[in-house]
Amino acid sequence: MITEAQQEIIEEFTLFDDWMDKYEHLIGLGKTLPLIDPQFKTDQYIIKGCQSKVWLRAEQQDGRVYFWADSDAIITKG
């Protein structure tokens, strides 16, 4: 089942005909995200096997899972 938020994302990206436009939009979205707290940029939170450095932190609160992430690559960051 696709949620309303997921459907909005799908519709947003269908506005772009060119894959490069989609990448540019994704990069722009990444620039608006809050930075991950530097204390979580450690080996404990790094995704192993990626070409770029990607840190991912997850936390469960009130029955939901929240994610924070950062990367040294602009596409992955988005």
* Per-residue pLDDT, 77: 66
* Per-residue pLDDT, 78: 60
Angle at 60 between CA 34 and CA 63, to 5 degrees: 120
For the chain, 78 residues long, give each residue's pLDDT as a single digit of tens: 779 989 998 999 999 999 999 989 988 888 888 888 999 999 999 999 988 999 999 999 999 998 888 888 776 766
**pTM across the whole model:** 0.67
Active site residues: 50
Domains and CATH numbers, the chain: 4-77 (3.90.1010.10)
Closest CA to 70 of 43, 44, 34, 28: 34
Q: What distance in Å separates the CA atoms of residue 55 and residue 59, rounded to the nearest whole number?
A: 14
